[in-house]
Amino acid sequence: MKVPYISASRLKTAQECYLKYHLHYEQPNADAQALKEIGNHRDNSQAGRMGNNVHDALEEWRRPDPETGKTPKPSFGRLMTLYKEVNAKREVDFDFYEDGKRMLKRWFDRRGRDPVRALHVEMQFGRHDAPYILSRTGTPVLGFIDLVIEHKDGTIECIDYKTQRLDITQAEADNSIQAAIYLCVARELWPDRPIQFTFDLQRHGTVTTVWTDERLETFKDWLHSQYENIMAVDSTDTSKVPATIGKGCQWCAYTPICPKAQDMMQNGAWDMLTPTLGADLNDLLNELATIKASKQMLDKRKKAIDEHIKTEVFDRSMKVEDCKTETENWSVEWREQTRRSYIPTEVQKLVPPTVFGTMVSLSNAAVDRVLPILPDDVAEAIKRTQISKPQRMLIVKPKESGDDGEN
């Protein structure tokens, strides 16, 4: 395959599935084709736009004055002005706008007042047509570092802003491909300085990782081997590019045009339902991953068929009694059904609080969705009501490439 350069996102895509890499980076019409097959458009998510707005406001706020080269004095008012400006260009609904504002306020209280010397904002290393070439291995890379600052002791810190809800553990940071690539470049640009990489998570805090020069050199060798592996894949015939069924399939936009995924659907998914289970644990875990991924794809297909019948076979304006038809093997009708439901706020007025508490249940997702828009003291009080109970869970996840347990 054509690999003009390696980035953390490109490598992650290739590790998940070579066909996905091929369709995303080598077939410019694949996105449109996949969307046509699905029958709708990818969600241009409010959360994604809000995250970009927070990201852009922070970058502009840290940008040094072009005349003096100094970083402007910390000012929350100026940060909010910049946030409003970027929102005017990339609008989001009010609840997302407010969520972003709260994140920036918490971030400013946590880190915004710290005086820093910003060396670079949105520092790009390499271009699409002229990537950065790592020394010794010659691996072409490309990336964007949100912020590079210099500490008083001379340490160079590369910072990546993230607005995601999931936290990043120290172990994840210490093994992050993104962090490693950025640190390899930083080591070459500042060979005599201490260097470190920090994930600055707006919802959580910071996670910093430091790699030794020896470990960075080992990573460069591994990265180059990954680059060569991708290069070696023959992509002249799309139908022959290897496709990997795994957990990423449930979110993949290309399942409608993936031959392997479609074959699994057409053939009843797979011939896996055997009377007995094999003894090989690795085979069972591979099978488990395939089952989970395929269930997601089948659910997506079911939803598309249901919607097609409602919109193409039946007209939504038709009377209920007319929404019936038959085929050679099936009869189908689209009819009304009455579902009962209670209005929680009205019930709450009629029963004692202790009784009402036994009638309702709160989901973690529902509470987490509301917490960011509540006053900080109320949100913290709610968090203190959490009850944690030990629960044993079976956790299955794929090993990182090259992590085969051998020395």
The larger pLDDT score, comparing residue 212 to residue 305, is at 212
Candidates 307, 237, 294; CA nearest to 266 is 294
Tell me, what's the pLDDT at 73? 86
236 falls within a domain: no
Among 189, 212, 231, where does a domain finish?
231
Question: What is d(CA 245, CA 288) in angstroms, rounded to the nearest whole number?
Answer: 11
- Give the pLDDT band (50/70/90) at residue 326: confident
**What is the model's pLDDT at position 332?**
81
Domain range for 372 is 344-383
Is 377 domain-assigned? yes
Give residue 249's pLDDT: 73
Backbone φ and ψ for 233, nearest 5 degrees, come out as -75, 125
Question: Which pLDDT tens digit goes with each residue over 6-29?
Answer: 999 999 999 989 999 998 888 867
Q: How many domains does the chain have?
A: 2
The CATH number given to whatever domain includes residue 130 is 3.90.320
Q: What does the pLDDT read at residue 302? A: 85
Contact 8, 219 (CB under 8 A): no
- Per-residue pLDDT, 11: 94
Q: Is residue 252 part of a domain?
A: no
Is the Cβ–Cβ distance between 173 and 208 less than 8 Å? yes
pLDDT at 276: 52
Q: Where does a domain end: 175, 197, 231?
A: 231
| Residue percentage of the chain with pLDDT more than 70 | 86
Asked if residue 2 has pLDDT above 90, the reply is: no
**Contact at 8 Å (CB) between 278 and 284?**
yes
Return the pLDDT at 289. Answer: 78
Give 206's pLDDT tier (boundaries 50, 70, 90).
very high
- Does the reported pTM lie above 0.85? no
Q: Is the model's pLDDT at 282 over the cut of 90?
A: no
* 146 has pLDDT over 70: yes
Query: Is the domain of 220 the same as that of 98?
Result: yes
Q: Which is more confident, 365 or 131?
A: 131
For range 124-149, the mean pLDDT: 95
Task: Give the distance, in angstroms, between the CA of residue 407 and the centroid of all CA atoms in the same chain.
Answer: 32
Among the three residues 231, 254, 287, which one is the final residue of a domain in this structure? 231
Flag whether 326 is in a domain: no
Report the candidate in 158, 183, 230 with the shortest Cα–Cα distance to residue 10: 230
Asked if residue 263 lies in contact with residue 294, where contact means CB atoms within 8 angstroms, the answer is no
Buried b (16+ CB within 10 A) or exposed e, 202-218: bbeeebebebeeeebee
Residue 122 lies inside a defined structural domain of this protein:
yes
Side chain identity, residue 299: D
- Please indicate, yes or no, if residue 53 is contained in any of the structural domains: yes
DSSP string, 92-149: --HHHHHHHHHHHHHHIIIIITS--EEEEEEEEES-SSSPEEPTTT--EE-EEEEEEE
Write the CB contacts of 77 (distance below 8 Å, at least 6 apart in sequence).
none
Decide if 284 is inside a domain.
no
SS3 108: helix
Query: Which helix (DSSP H) or strand (DSSP E) does residue 156 occupy?
Result: strand 156-162
Domain membership of residue 51 (yes or no) is yes
Going by C-alpha positions, the residue among 239, 207, 217, 205 that lies closest to residue 106 is: 205
Pick 407 or 295 by higher pLDDT: 295
pLDDT, the chain, mean: 83
- Determine how β-strand 156-162 pairs with β-strand 143-150: antiparallel
Residue 400's pLDDT is 58
Q: What is the pLDDT of residues 70-125, one digit of tens each?
A: 888 889 999 999 999 999 999 899 989 999 999 999 999 998 888 888 999 999 99
How high is the pLDDT of residue 389?
77
